[in-house]
Amino acid sequence: MTQAEIQKPPQAPAGPLTPLMEQPKGEKPPATGGKPRILVIDDSEVIRNLFRDFLTDKGYEVTLASNGREGLSAFNQAPKGHFSVVICDMEMPQMSGKEVILAIKQADPTQKVILCCSGATLNYSLGPEKVPADAYLDKPVDLDNLLHAVQDLERQTI
């Protein structure tokens, strides 16, 4: 073989071409490298980084958002089903966790969401003004409880 033959691009098959990234509407795209994707929305950089490091070590691909608006933007820009779970803080500037979760659930009622909040806020979140999260974690969040909540919600989507 000559050098020109080795570098020659392969012939494309005859017939119509379908873009590789095209997905039927409502289908979950495959996770990068087979890793489930998590969106963490929290105004505390320490918490965001802690959750990212812990979940990454457990095999997840993690996207971080520093406030509710940024988190909602990341969620809305991703294809439906992109994130297996969204983890959201309740008390944040600009947009509360309740507002974020309501917007996420309106966009995709099947999206699994974990709400993290302090004890007093947790009681409020479960009361008459219930936040429509799928799981609730009391702060400070125990990382093992976080992992169990994520895994439980993932099992519910299978």
Q: What is the 3-state secondary structure (H, E, C) of 41-82?
A: ECCCHHHHHHHHHHHHHCCCEEEEECCHHHHHHHHHHCCCCC
| 81 pLDDT above the threshold of 60 | yes
* pLDDT range class, residue 113, cuts 50, 70, 90: very high
* pLDDT range class, residue 68, cuts 50, 70, 90: very high
b/e map of 52-85 (b: 16 or more CB within 10 Å)?
A: bebbeebebbbbbbbbbbbbbebbeeeebbbbbb
Nearest to 68 by CA among 46, 47, 39: 39
| Lookup: tokens for 6 | 């080795």
Which CATH number does the domain housing residue 119 bear?
3.40.50.2300
Rounded Cα distance, 71 and 104, in Å: 10
User: What pLDDT sits at residue 130?
Assistant: 80
| 10 pLDDT above the threshold of 80 | no
Query: Is the residue at 113 inside a domain?
Result: yes
Domain housing 145: 35-157
User: What pLDDT sits at residue 13?
Assistant: 39
Query: Is the residue at 122 inside a domain?
Result: yes
Q: Which residue has the tokens 């299978």?
A: 158
Query: Is the residue at 3 inside a domain?
Result: no
Query: Is the residue at 68 inside a domain?
Result: yes
Beta strands in the chain (DSSP E): 37-41, 61-65, 85-89, 112-117, 135-138
The mean pLDDT value for 94-106 works out to: 95
Query: Is the residue at 25 inside a domain?
Result: no
| 9 pLDDT above the threshold of 80 | no
128 class by beta-carbon count within 10 Å (0-12 exposed, 13-18 middle, 19+ buried): exposed
Query: Is the residue at 86 inside a domain?
Result: yes
Query: Is the residue at 111 inside a domain?
Result: yes
User: What pLDDT sits at residue 121?
Assistant: 56
User: Residue 22 carries which side chain, given as an amino acid letter?
Assistant: E
pTM of the model: 0.77
User: What pLDDT sits at residue 120?
Assistant: 55
| Lookup: tokens for 118 | 């302090």
Domain count, the chain: 1
